[in-house]
Chains A and B, each alone.
Chain A
Amino acid sequence: MSQDKNASNLPASWLWGAVALGALGVLGSYAAAGPERFWANWVFWFVLLFTLGLGSLFIVALEHLVNAKWSVPIRRIPERLATLLIPSIPVGLIALGAIPVLYPGARPEAAHHPLLAGKAFWLSMPFFSARTVVALALCLLGLWVLVGGSLKQDATKDPAFNFKARKFAPAFMAIFALVVTLVAFDWISGLTPEWYSDIFGVYVFAGAFLSGLAATALAVLHLQDQGRLEGVRGDHLYNLGGFLFAFTVFWSYIGFAQYMLMWYANLPDEVIWYKVRLQGSWHLITLVLAGLHFVLPFFALVTRDSKKDPRRLRRVAYLMLGAHVLDIYWLIFPILGASPRFSWPELSFALFFLGGILLWARGAMQKGEDMPVGDPFLREGLEFRL
């Protein structure tokens, strides 16, 4: 039976058009809207792309770590999504250009700033860049071992990979924790270097994991629409939905814990970050974020059916991706001013990067087998029942 692998997809030419049109806007925004706005957008998309890729890689690593069987049939999907880390490397390297513009800690004045002088070395351009390069390289390593190895196994059918991956996964968890924390601290909270929050890395991790899960769920459902991934059932979807449910709560827990402690202590260098986000239009966005990232998905996913039913799961997955985008926007854009910026530069960036991400993801979804056919546990995974 020959399946049209592209059924129900946007035509590729549209996506290329979006990328081209977006690229024009992106270049234009540098000239017309100023470097600050350009770089804020660039960093925003770098963080989104990176969290999506890394979140997906985390799913893969987690499954190896706990030796999960249920997820073997769908493991190829987060593996493919994790390859988004590859385009995130050039995007991240270009983002280094934002450091002198957006990051006060990397400016020469920082050496004399009473709060920044002590961390000036850490925040300085060379060390900052070096950390980013190391983080990206470590991600590539994880990608190479976990995803590359799995792809190779399709042909070799060698169960040795499973043992190797299971041994590598714990090490990768440590690497992952380091990388997520570094990227969160450097690229996001580095925008306001006077502010610090110990739990910030965990907060960004929660968002990254959620975005990876939501993208995985969407891709699985999408491939199923095309008649692919045969054998993946409501039971598998249920687990994805359960993860989504658990981690929306986790995200909210971390987000609120961070807020509550700062609100209680009311220390000027800590609350200022929230004060900005609790005034004017940002206040509204904060409330909307809480609604979209917690309240709505919580009630949407709380029943058993909503996790099993493809239609409802798809809606929640879209919602979670949107909420993650809003979350990162909420983290980054307040540096541009009290009124949230959203007009043609943001739209151009969205066209450019969304088009690019979709093109990449679509390409990835066509490559190789849809399931890790060489994995000895595939059958067991297919037989998984709740």
Chain B
Amino acid sequence: MPETSYAVLGVFETPDALMKAIPQARAAKLGTVEAYTPYAIHGIEEALGLRRSPLGGMVLVMGILGAITAFGFQYWISAIDYPIITGGKGAGSWEAFIPIMFEVTVLFATFTAGLGMLFLLNKLPFFGHPVLSSKSIKGITRDRYVLAVEAESEAFDSAAAARTLQAAGAIEIEALPAPDRSPFLTSDYILRTLGGIFIACVVAGLAMYFATKWFPVLAPMKYMHEQPRLNAQKASDFFKDGHGMQQPVPGTVARGYLPTATGTQEEAASLVNPLPRTPEVFALGKKVYTNRCEVCHGAVGNGVGSLTAAYGAKPANLQAQQFLDYPDGKIYWAIVNGKNSMPSHAPYLSERERWAVVDYVRALQRAQNAKDEDLKVATR
């Protein structure tokens, strides 16, 4: 017998003989007892004491993980990162997520089942199980039932294993030497496989590129490209005026830009600022003011901004008594409609930004006309 041995195989003639031998072989505690049979034998898992495969649990966990992942992604995309309303459904409509959750659950679960079985449990890549090169393999695939005592360590006593199997009724004994080359994947093999895949990709890519370049007839799958669609900023003969993009229908209003303060400035006087005076609102107002108003009205609102000299017309001094007495609505109206040489800011500012800057103008005015109580509040 060779020095190192992979396993000792005992050949049996009937499944019953095999089943009877299993307890004896296991009791000897020489190594892992495995059976190789041409077909499944009922009850053999229990006899061999095979542990319940952990695959089911893995699949369940991964399936649930898949469902959670799909839900999380969709929720994050459509409700948090870029809340968008499609088909009149709210941004976080879970109903629409379910099909994708289902798909991803199945994807995770099946991949776990397939790959987990192959790589984790069956220890692929495992080229050529040593038993496949045994003499007994022919019988195993036909009408022989083989019990193997497989070596667990260097100290494996193959002679004792052979004796045990013989005693248990094996009609033939075969000692299987340890394979001279590792049956597992070697780095050399991995490199060659990866290299092969890489070269195949390059060749296929180049072939595709030149094929479509030199033989445009072969252009593959251009249907997406050629669909009759309207392109932004491009001409189109679909519409009479030849433009791809059309003016919105008269009266169209963008979300969050509902027309307000449409009447005269006097009528707007009664508009009430809907925003609460919170630090966020003031911060927003300050940002808008600095970006949009300061160049003309100056940092403190006194009508002296960096542009004032170049601009010609004199921006209003918002600190003047007239504007201290202004109701919020009239300032708002000026922002929306503009006034004389002050342009309308309606296109640039949302409803919220307009009111926030009104609040900020109020704060500027208060800061320049601070009363004693204000100081107390500030220093408290």
Complex Cα distance, B43 from A303, in Å, reads 20
Give the distance to chain B from A309, nearest Cβ to Cβ, in Å: 14
Give the distance to chain A from B50, nearest Cβ to Cβ, in Å: 14
Residue interface mask A243-270, B partner, CB < 8 A = 1: 0000000000000100110011010000
Residue A302 contacts which of B60, B87, B95 (CB distance < 8 angstroms)? B60
Q: Is the CB of A303 within 8 A of B95?
A: no
Give the distance to chain A from B145, nearest Cβ to Cβ, in Å: 17
Interface residue ranges of A258-285 to B (CB < 8 Å): 259-260, 263-264, 266
Tell me if A367 is interfacial: C-beta within 8 Å of chain B: no
Query: Number of contacts between A and B (CB, 8 Å)?
Result: 19
Q: Is the CB of A256 within 8 A of B42?
A: no
Q: Is the CB of A256 within 8 A of B98?
A: yes
A303-B56, A304-B56 known; A264 vs B42 contact (CB < 8 Å): no
Q: Interface size on B (CB < 8 Å)?
A: 12
A304-B56, A385-B42 known; A263 vs B88 contact (CB < 8 Å): no
Residue interface mask A293-305, B partner, CB < 8 A = 1: 0000000001110
Q: Is the CB of A263 within 8 A of B56?
A: no
Residue A259 contacts which of B43, B89, B95 (CB distance < 8 angstroms)? B95
Q: Is the CB of A263 within 8 A of B95?
A: yes
Give the distance to chain A from B265, nearest Cβ to Cβ, in Å: 43
Tell me if B99 is interfacial: C-beta within 8 Å of chain A: yes
Give the distance to chain B from A117, nearest Cβ to Cβ, in Å: 30
Tell me if B367 is interfacial: C-beta within 8 Å of chain A: no
Complex Cα distance, B94 from A256, in Å, reads 12
Q: Is the CB of A260 within 8 A of B56?
A: no
Chain A residues lying within 8 Å of B60, measured Cβ to Cβ, are: 302
Tell me if B96 is interfacial: C-beta within 8 Å of chain A: yes
Give the distance to chain A from B51, nearest Cβ to Cβ, in Å: 13
Interface residue ranges of B110-150 to A (CB < 8 Å): none
Chain B residues lying within 8 Å of A385, measured Cβ to Cβ, are: 42-43
Nearest opposing residue in chain B for A253, CB measure: B102
Q: Is the CB of B42 within 8 A of A260?
A: no
Residue A260 contacts which of B87, B88, B98 (CB distance < 8 angstroms)? B98
Nearest opposing residue in chain A for B52, CB measure: A304
Residue interface mask A351-386, B partner, CB < 8 A = 1: 000000000000000000000000000000000010
Complex Cα distance, B52 from A243, in Å, reads 22
Chain A residues lying within 8 Å of B56, measured Cβ to Cβ, are: 303-304
Chain B residues lying within 8 Å of A264, measured Cβ to Cβ, are: 87, 89, 95-96
Residue interface mask B184-224, A partner, CB < 8 A = 1: 00000000000000000000000000000000000000000
Chain A residues lying within 8 Å of B99, measured Cβ to Cβ, are: 260
Chain B residues lying within 8 Å of A303, measured Cβ to Cβ, are: 56
Interface residue ranges of B17-67 to A (CB < 8 Å): 42-43, 52, 56, 60
Residues of A contacting B: mostly: helix
Nearest opposing residue in chain B for A263, CB measure: B95
Interface residue ranges of B70-92 to A (CB < 8 Å): 87-89
Q: Interface size on A (CB < 8 Å)?
A: 10
Nearest opposing residue in chain A for B86, CB measure: A264
Complex Cα distance, B47 from A111, in Å, reads 73
Complex Cα distance, B43 from A264, in Å, reads 51
Complex Cα distance, B102 from A256, in Å, reads 11
Give the distance to chain A from B132, nearest Cβ to Cβ, in Å: 28
Chain A residues lying within 8 Å of B98, measured Cβ to Cβ, are: 256, 260
Give the distance to chain B from A258, nearest Cβ to Cβ, in Å: 12
Give the distance to chain B from A170, nearest Cβ to Cβ, in Å: 30
Give the distance to chain A from B14, nearest Cβ to Cβ, in Å: 18
Chain A residues lying within 8 Å of B95, measured Cβ to Cβ, are: 259-260, 263-264
Interface residue ranges of A296-318 to B (CB < 8 Å): 302-304
Chain A residues lying within 8 Å of B42, measured Cβ to Cβ, are: 385
Most chain B CB neighbours (cut-off 10 Å) among A259, A263, A264, A385: A264
Give the distance to chain B from A299, nearest Cβ to Cβ, in Å: 9
Complex Cα distance, B87 from A304, in Å, reads 43
Complex Cα distance, B60 from A302, in Å, reads 8
Nearest opposing residue in chain A for B40, CB measure: A385
Interface residue ranges of A43-70 to B (CB < 8 Å): none
Complex Cα distance, B96 from A64, in Å, reads 40
Complex Cα distance, B52 from A264, in Å, reads 44
Give the distance to chain A from B52, nearest Cβ to Cβ, in Å: 8
Complex Cα distance, B43 from A260, in Å, reads 46
Chain A residues lying within 8 Å of B96, measured Cβ to Cβ, are: 260, 264
Give the distance to chain B from A380, nearest Cβ to Cβ, in Å: 13
Chain B residues lying within 8 Å of A266, measured Cβ to Cβ, are: 87-88
Give the distance to chain B from A361, nearest Cβ to Cβ, in Å: 34
Complex Cα distance, B54 from A303, in Å, reads 11
Nearest opposing residue in chain B for A259, CB measure: B95
Chain A residues lying within 8 Å of B43, measured Cβ to Cβ, are: 385
Nearest opposing residue in chain A for B59, CB measure: A302
Chain A residues lying within 8 Å of B52, measured Cβ to Cβ, are: 304
Chain B residues lying within 8 Å of A263, measured Cβ to Cβ, are: 95
Chain B residues lying within 8 Å of A304, measured Cβ to Cβ, are: 52, 56
Give the distance to chain A from B53, nearest Cβ to Cβ, in Å: 10
Chain B residues lying within 8 Å of A259, measured Cβ to Cβ, are: 95
Chain A residues lying within 8 Å of B88, measured Cβ to Cβ, are: 266
Give the distance to chain B from A49, nearest Cβ to Cβ, in Å: 33
Across the A-B interface, give the 9 residue pairs with the lowest CB-CB distance, nearest first: A385-B42, A263-B95, A260-B95, A302-B60, A256-B98, A260-B98, A264-B87, A266-B88, A304-B56
* 18 A-B contacts (beta carbon < 8 Å): A256-B98, A259-B95, A260-B95, A260-B96, A260-B98, A263-B95, A264-B87, A264-B89, A264-B95, A264-B96, A266-B87, A266-B88, A302-B60, A303-B56, A304-B52, A304-B56, A385-B42, A385-B43
17 extra interface residue pairs, beta carbon distance < 8 Å, beyond A256-B98, A304-B56: A259-B95, A260-B95, A260-B96, A260-B98, A260-B99, A263-B95, A264-B87, A264-B89, A264-B95, A264-B96, A266-B87, A266-B88, A302-B60, A303-B56, A304-B52, A385-B42, A385-B43
